[in-house]
Structure 1
């Protein structure tokens, strides 16, 4: 009996010993797995930090929306106006960019103050309606016709743009509004828009109302660029400059463009010459790259003199790369889509893709598309 008790006691000790060893082994294994999981988590986190995150949008610009009286008379339908038909052939292309800018050369204060054409323009409200419906996302309003009908008319124009939620930049109703940086965001990329003009056809800005329109002043521009850098990833400048009907940029345009890129502007869309001027890459003082389109010409107008009825859209891909080193903006592959405005005896104004326009071929020649494309891209390397 005593031997049996001893045997049972020894067996119990063995069982307890083995159970204890098994428990310790499991604990060790569990701790080891936890350690491996932590290491794996750290590795994944490091991978997320080092892997490039790339976001991309397309920014585009078109030229002057310059509504002569013959253009709005053609758009009249009873007691209203319809400009949609003038845009319809190019609207599909206008809707391809992520953000599209146009120069709204004429104010859109409407019929209440009286419509007018050259030299003191005021257009129907419906111009802005059609501009927005065609796919244009923002308009520049600082140009030599900004005060054609005075400060109050400009404010009425701004009020209408606001009422239809069409963003605008370059003219303002107060100093506070002027100090705000105009931005649009898409695809994780925030874009700031600036707009300035060389002058106002000799029309003076009333005392105390210098907020009404941005006049080119290098120090003022540098200050706004500095504010824009703090708020946006990309800076786009719409600038009214140069000489009318000149197909190449002046020395002063080139000098100002270089200053803008040096200060950090990424894309410059020029207007005022009413004809196309080439685009080119510029390198800034910090090694940054900027694209300048010296003039986008007329997009819709009543001018039919040589080359004034040809315009187009310049588009550029914009990539934002984010990684552990910060963020970087890259501009890629600018493209040009030329357009032509046809008309018949100051009626039937309509825009066409230049490539498919029989009217353009008849007016110019069969190689007009290639000539215009080469003209715009001749500086691009």
Structure 2
């Protein structure tokens, strides 16, 4: 009714203008007032843009020499090993890590390859350096059986660390791992593994570890999209020590992109594999890193000592949520005589310059927009 009244008033003013040969000042002001009213009646909608930042690190795989190096009179202290990279991990909104050696606690006996078991202190260290979520679905999840999984999940709950991919019971497995941020963006984390090194999943207890199954992944992603703005999927897949993804990895990553996931984080090869953007069947863009490599593990080969803190933004414009600005801090695990372990920013190590430049080129070959962090963030 107000818009209709405007046109009646405006028509009258135009007729007066044509008949009189001029527009009185009062009439000009009236037209401007009516025009101003129309602007107020039809405001433009401006999308509500929000963003958060995410960091992902690869395998936290603790071998015997790492335990020995971290041992104290009262337990274990892994904190010094991560201090050089802590500033890069705790500055982003969310940080996720692949805790590959199950945190079954000392009561089960701390152990190394081939059946790993880590003490509770590694959880405390990850919490201290800024990790918010751990992925637990990997080939070592069942190294200490159901008891190990139950202890790990209970300990994560005790220290306030979110986890995904392995659960103590069915009820727990049916709850989505969703992180709600102060910026108003919620992120769901999902995690799956190709297998458990031949250790059978106990009958009727599939909840102990999420195995890769396309129908389950499809259901879980669709379910997560109904409750969270973004969905990050961790996949434990690929061939160990291969620098590039195989066709099976590419196929599964594309399948996940087709379901509308925001990002895919790969683990298992123990070496870095490239970053790539995939286009989903609905036109969405999904950010993929095929392998995050080792973050800390006692493996001597150079490629197995190079890891990454992979970072990207999640931007929400209205109802559209996308990953943007992929960037990476390449890391190097320094040690000598199987002791003095330190995860360090690789760009700070002059002796690694050649390997550093080669790895940068390799990681960006499928994603030219990938940038590399080469500055101190501690201040």
Q: Which residue of 2 aligns with 1:301?
A: 297
Q: Which whole-Å CA distance do the structure 2 matches of 1:280 and 1:53 have between them?
A: 28
Aligned pair count reads 338
Q: Which whole-Å CA distance do the structure 2 matches of 1:230 and 1:99 have between them?
A: 20
The correspondence for 1:342, drawn from 334, 340, 346, is: 334
Q: Which whole-Å CA distance do the structure 2 matches of 1:98 and 1:45 have between them?
A: 39
Shift of 1:45: 7.5
Q: Which residue of 2 aligns with 1:255?
A: 251
Q: Which residue of 1 aligns with 2:374?
A: none
Is the contact made by 1:248 and 1:278 (CA closer than 8 Å) also made in structure 2? yes
CA distance 1:368–1:174, shift in 2 (3 Å): same
Shift of 1:51: 1.1
Q: Which whole-Å CA distance do the structure 2 matches of 1:309 and 1:109 have between them?
A: 25
Tell me the alpha carbon deviations over residues 169-211 of structure 1, each in whole angstroms, 9 at most, x when there is no partner.
Answer: 0001111211211100211111110000000000001111111
| 2:251 is the alignment partner of 1:264 | no
CA distance 1:282–1:67, shift in 2 (3 Å): same
Is the contact made by 1:277 and 1:295 (CA closer than 8 Å) also made in structure 2? yes
Structure 2, unaligned stretches of length 5 or more?
A: 1-29, 369-379
Is the contact made by 1:142 and 1:170 (CA closer than 8 Å) also made in structure 2? yes
| 2:46 is the alignment partner of 1:51 | yes
- After TM superposition, the structure 1 = structure 2 runs for residues 142-161 of structure 1, keeping only pairs within 5 Å, are 142-161=137-156
Q: Which whole-Å CA distance do the structure 1 matches of 2:284 and 2:353 have between them?
A: 39
Q: Which residue of 2 aligns with 1:329?
A: 321
CA-atom RMSD, angstroms?
1.9
- Shift >6 Å, 4+ stretches: none
CA distance 1:114–1:283, shift in 2 (3 Å): same
Q: Which whole-Å CA distance do the structure 2 matches of 1:199 and 1:176 have between them?
A: 22
- Does the residue aligned with 2:302 lie in a helix, a strand or coil? coil
Shift of 1:297: 0.2
CA distance 1:46–1:316, shift in 2 (3 Å): farther
- Does the residue aligned with 2:363 lie in a helix, a strand or coil? helix
The correspondence for 1:113, drawn from 101, 108, 116, is: 108
- Does the residue aligned with 1:367 lie in a helix, a strand or coil? helix
- Does the residue aligned with 2:287 lie in a helix, a strand or coil? strand
Decide which moves more: 189-198 or 88-97: 88-97
| 2:344 is the alignment partner of 1:352 | yes
Q: Which whole-Å CA distance do the structure 1 matches of 2:317 and 2:131 have between them?
A: 27
Is the contact made by 2:261 and 2:286 (CA closer than 8 Å) also made in structure 1? yes
Shift of 1:349: 0.5
- Does the residue aligned with 1:81 lie in a helix, a strand or coil? coil
The correspondence for 1:274, drawn from 270, 273, 279, is: 270
Is the contact made by 2:262 and 2:322 (CA closer than 8 Å) also made in structure 1? no
Is the contact made by 1:336 and 1:373 (CA closer than 8 Å) also made in structure 2? no
| 2:358 is the alignment partner of 1:371 | yes
Q: Which residue of 2 aligns with 1:184?
A: 179
Shift of 1:374: 1.2
CA distance 1:262–1:45, shift in 2 (3 Å): farther
Q: Which residue of 2 aligns with 1:166?
A: 161
Shift of 1:107: 1.1
Q: Which whole-Å CA distance do the structure 1 matches of 2:292 and 2:91 have between them?
A: 18
Is the contact made by 1:191 and 1:232 (CA closer than 8 Å) also made in structure 2? yes
| 2:205 is the alignment partner of 1:213 | no
Q: Which whole-Å CA distance do the structure 1 matches of 2:60 and 2:321 have between them?
A: 30
TM superposition score normalised by structure 1: 0.85
Q: Which residue of 1 aligns with 2:376?
A: none
Is the contact made by 2:315 and 2:321 (CA closer than 8 Å) also made in structure 1? yes
Shift of 1:331: 2.1
CA distance 1:52–1:157, shift in 2 (3 Å): same
Is the contact made by 2:60 and 2:100 (CA closer than 8 Å) also made in structure 1? yes
Tell me the alpha carbon deviations over residues 204-243 of structure 1, each in whole angstroms, 9 at most, x when there is no partner.
Answer: 0111111100000100111101100100111101110000
Q: Which whole-Å CA distance do the structure 2 matches of 1:46 and 1:374 have between them?
A: 51
- After TM superposition, the structure 1 = structure 2 runs for residues 212-251 of structure 1, keeping only pairs within 5 Å, are 212-251=208-247
- Does the residue aligned with 1:256 lie in a helix, a strand or coil? helix
Decide which moves more: 83-92 or 173-182: 173-182
